[in-house]
Chain A
Amino acid sequence: MTALRSGVSRTTLALPLLLFGVLALAAPNFLAPQNLANVVGQITALLIVSLGQLLVALVAGIDLSVGSVMSLAGCLVATQPDPLWGMVLALLLGLAVGIANGLGVAVAGIHPLIMTLATATFLQGLAYLVLPIPGGEVAPALRSLADGSLWGVPQPLLWCALCAALVYGLLHRSRLGLHLFAVGAQARSAQLNGVRVVGVTVAAYVGCSLLAVVAGVYLAARVASGDPTMGASFGLESVTAVALGGVQLTGGVGSILGVLTGALSLGLITNGINLFGISPFLRGALTGALLLAAVCSQRRKVVGL
């Protein structure tokens, strides 16, 4: 039933497999356990944030503010000595941003790109206010959650699995999930069927921001400090991951498997850049090129924004 709207094709699955194969053969030390653990650790944040982007893409939206939300969440937990209070603050932030984005898009009719760009800029300023330069200290309790292993499984993997399971439950086992797909396909038809389009849209943006908060807290815990520009590249990278994974940015089609393959592909490319010794500054250019390729491969009727 759900293969109908997964968007996963042979090419989406082939890309990460191909990359894995190439790296395993050509790159030194790729298969070393330390390197593989690195890869997992690096893509965890991207995967979590991309799961959020998936929710929003399903309702034909986009959220460019996830990067700033990540940075701000990280700065919040790095400046709050009490880890619980830090988490609560960060989650409240995610809730507020998600509601603001969702209402702006669904009620005020502002284009999602504009709305989330505005929020992103505003929150970036706020992040600089909370923590002007990288620093701060993340409470040890949180730090221990980010690294190491639990019952033999690396913790980052557990974070990924937990978030993926939650989103899976939401999308395929709940009424809200079905409504997300419906609204993304044709909002008007969904509304005529009794689906509350505004509520569903706001829920998608709230889910996205909350997942961005989780990703930001994870990253900060991993590095044990905060950085106001930590999440800067994640906005466009999460869109790239989602688009590479067969999720239609026009709404209604997408799956967690797709997001996983997209995030994996991006992570493998980054790893490859490190292993091959290519200038890390080219990573941004490469991501940009991938984003272009991914976005051009999707069909759209509208020209422009």
Chain B
Amino acid sequence: MQPSARTMPDTVGHVTTQDNRPDLVVLESVSKRFGSTAALQDVSLRGCAGSIHAITGENGAGKSTLMKLLAGVHQPDAGQIRVAGQVLRLRSPAAARAAGISTVFQELTVLPNLTVAENLLLGREPSRAGLLDRAAMRAEAQAVLARIGIGLDPQRPGGSLTVGEQQLVEIAKGVSTDAQVFIFDEPTAPLNRAEVDKLEQLLHTLKAQGKLVFYISHRLDEIFRLCDTVTVLKDGRWVATEPIAALTHDRLIALMVGRPLQALFPPRAGTPPGAPALDVRNLTPLAGAASARLQLRRGEIVGMGGLEGQGQREIVRALAGALRPAACDIQRHGRDGQPQAYDPRLGVAQAVRQGIGLVPEDRKQEGLYLDLPIADNLWLGVLRGLGLVRQAPRQRAVVSGMAEQLQLRASSLAQEVGELSGGNQQKVMIGRWLAAGVDTLLVEQPTRGVDVGAKAEIYSLLRAFVAQGGAVLALSSDLPELIGLCDRILVVRGGRVVGDVPAASATEEGLLALALVDAPAAAAEVPGVMAEVAA
């Protein structure tokens, strides 16, 4: 289906249900750049009171950035923000709060060394004669938690909460203010079914109270269930704003992707997969936690999904040697076909020597050398296994050949990687491992913050890699990506692999059903995850 003709950025789709109510928030022609990447270009948006307004789009569409402008985290390079008719400059999160905007961020901001009560009221603590009023703090925290129906002890330290409980605290924080505008950024990612229901009740209450709720999500069933309006962004630009009643699933997807879904993903391999690159008979990433079993064979791309914080990251990092597992029993078949035992406890260097490479999720912090040139970033992969005093080989040909293969867009190989766009940066990370000659790639969030064009290229790269006998394990929170890219999808829950689904026949609803749990949150979560979050 063709997207509607509402593609003029300056005519915000005037939607019939909104005409009767006053605009509470207006973002007019806002733009935002980060370095050389244009995150938002000339986006206009209107939200009115008493509405749950979805903001959706693919990974890298600019949803979070747009809302962060409203949350005071970033300032627009161009354009205006108006709240209740007044033009505002939101210079900090505190300013946004003062303007009546409350945000539940995607990143958890619960502090481990503060209690739940202190976390809830941080930044707006009750005080008496200039001093903290701890009694009032306790009382207010109790009241907030009770009102929302969360049974948490306000004296518990933030560091002892599970990921789901932290999210509930975030939501409680957001909802308990006197704000007029609420922003929720992917709030249900770590929540179980009961918690999701609770959240939905809350949102309906807010709407009935005449508040405006911006709800960022790419879970279509939630959008259709909860929201009355949806705004679609693509590649940093506004695409459409329509009432939910006027849309169907397929039409919404078409608006989001803008091209037939099939064109994004390369075709799957017809040949059956080969010997196991990784035969994980038992992997216990954290002491006392569950153990995982899985197989990754040559020639296939295996996806790993599930709710956030269910242990997927720990499994991947343990396999890569970056997290020392409590127990493991893993066999490997190298490129030569010989089986050998693989012990990730020996560390990352050993894993790399055996041909296993990790592409981390946070490429800026953990993956790339931002102030070094592209050539160095690619070429450092070749250095593995060489003695320290050996003369470093020049390998100019390898590097420029790799850059061609990756279809890098850069002014020259001497350009600093930090100046590249997200998609090109991601390609450089993958390119480094290709240059190093690994045969197994463990990829966390293969296309986070990557534009659509580069996405297709990255998918092709991964597919070409496995076609030559490599194996890829791709951890992703983007269900359509898992379904489109992979051959098989593993669903992880509570640190265990609870589902192994062929991607060709998988659906988003089916995967979510496997991932969600009906039991209370505490029983399902991986206890050790907190250590990583609290650190």
Contacts and interface: CB of A to CB of B under 8 A. Distances in A.
Whether A and B are associated in the same complex: the answer reads yes
A185 B112 contact: yes
Contacts of B201: none
A5 interface: yes
B93 A193 contact: yes
Contacts of B107: 189, 192
Nearest to A253: B113
B366 to A, nearest CB: 12
B535 to A, nearest CB: 7
Given A4-B157, A178-B132, A193-B109, A185 B114 contact: yes
Interface stretch (B33-41, B122-130, B353-361, B381-389): B122-130
Interface string A209-251: 0000000000000000000000000000000000000000000
A174 interface: yes
A173 interface: yes
Contact of A195 (B112, B115, B122, B134): B122
B122 A185 contact: no
A184 B113 CA distance: 9
Contacts of B127: 175
Interface in A1-27: 1, 4-5
Given A4-B113, A185-B114, A189-B111, A194 B97 contact: yes
B94 A181 contact: no
Contacts of B535: 301
B115 A190 contact: no
Given A192-B93, A301-B535, A173 B122 contact: no
B88 to A, nearest CB: 16
Interface in B79-124: 92-94, 97, 103, 105, 107-115, 118, 122-124
A178 B115 CA distance: 11
Given A4-B157, A173-B132, A178-B132, A191 B114 contact: no
A196 interface: yes
Contacts of B108: 189
Contacts of B131: 169, 173-174
Given A1-B115, A173-B132, A175-B132, A189 B125 contact: no
Among B94, B108, B123, residue most surrounded by chain A Cβ atoms (within 10 Å): B123
Given A192-B93, A195-B122, A178 B109 contact: no
Interface bin, chain A: 20 to 34
A252 interface: yes
B209 interface: no
A260 interface: no
A181 B114 contact: yes
A192 B105 contact: yes
Contacts of A5: 113-114
A181 B93 contact: no
B73 interface: yes
Contacts of A196: 92, 94
B125 A178 contact: yes
B17 interface: no
A299 to B, nearest CB: 10
B155 interface: yes
Interface string B122-150: 11110100111010000000000000000
A246 to B, nearest CB: 13
Nearest to B109: A189
Nearest to A2: B115
Nearest to A175: B125
A46 interface: no
B371 to A, nearest CB: 15
B122 A194 contact: yes
A186 interface: yes
Contacts of B93: 191-194
B134 A182 contact: no
Contacts of B118: 1, 178
Contacts of A184: 113
A26 to B, nearest CB: 39
B130 A185 contact: no
Contacts of B125: 175, 178
Given A4-B157, A174-B130, A193 B123 contact: yes
Contact of A190 (B73, B103, B122, B132): B122
A96 B110 CA distance: 34
A182 B119 CA distance: 9
A192 B111 CA distance: 11
Contacts of A191: 92-93
A178 B124 contact: no
Contacts of A177: 132
Nearest to B154: A1
Contact of B122 (A1, A188, A193, A253): A193
B155 A192 contact: no
Contact of B114 (A169, A172, A178, A192): A178
Nearest to B126: A175
Contacts of A181: 111, 113-114
B124 A194 contact: yes
Contacts of B73: 192
Nearest to B110: A189
A182 B111 CA distance: 7
Nearest to B155: A1
A180 to B, nearest CB: 11
Contacts of B94: 194-196
Interface string B500-535: 000000000000000000000000000000000001
Contacts of B97: 194
A111 B137 CA distance: 35
Contacts of A190: 109, 111, 122
Among A4, A182, A193, A194, residue most surrounded by chain B Cβ atoms (within 10 Å): A193
A108 to B, nearest CB: 18
Given A174-B130, A192-B73, A193-B93, A185 B111 contact: yes
Contacts of B115: 1, 4
Contacts of B157: 4
Nearest to B68: A192
24 contacts: A4-B157, A5-B114, A172-B132, A174-B132, A175-B127, A177-B132, A178-B125, A181-B111, A182-B122, A185-B111, A185-B114, A188-B109, A190-B111, A191-B92, A191-B93, A193-B109, A193-B122, A194-B92, A194-B97, A194-B123, A195-B94, A195-B123, A196-B92, A252-B111
The 5 closest A-B pairs by CB, nearest first: A194-B123, A189-B109, A194-B94, A5-B113, A193-B122
Given A185-B113, A189-B110, A195-B94, 17 more contacts: A1-B118, A1-B134, A1-B155, A4-B114, A169-B131, A178-B132, A181-B111, A185-B111, A185-B112, A186-B109, A186-B111, A186-B112, A189-B109, A190-B122, A194-B122, A195-B122, A253-B113
